[in-house]
Amino acid sequence: MEHNTSVEALKTVEPKINPAHELILDLLYTNYHGLTADEVAFSLNYKVLFARPRMSELHKAGKIYRGDKRRKNASGLSATVWRIAA
């Protein structure tokens, strides 16, 4: 069986966008000022430990970026404010 290495390589580079990603993107699209992962979790009734990795995945996919502002999260630490990429 012959493998198409270009297709295999593309699968490793281009992360899949799932329904949770789509909900997060929709939320960020309507919040032009950006949101922290904790704010996303609260808004979508997700656990923070579920939302944070989704933000990283969207960032890797080039769908969101780190804004130049930071806000305190629920634990009082400074958190990245994520914005939707153009």
The per-residue pLDDT for range 28-75, each reduced to its tens digit, is: 999 999 999 999 999 999 999 999 999 999 999 999 999 999 999 988
Would you list the domain boundaries of the chain? 24-84
SS3 of the chain: helix, strand, coil, percent, to 5? 50, 20, 30
Which pLDDT belongs to residue 74?
86
Which pLDDT belongs to residue 10?
47
Tokens of 2: 């012959």
Distance CA 4, CA 8 (A): 6
Indicate the pLDDT class of residue 8, thresholds 50, 70 and 90. Answer: low
Q: What's the alpha-carbon Rg for the chain, to the nearest Å?
A: 15
Indicate the pLDDT class of residue 3, thresholds 50, 70 and 90. Answer: low
Class of domain 24-84: mainly alpha
Distance CA 85, CA 42 (A): 21
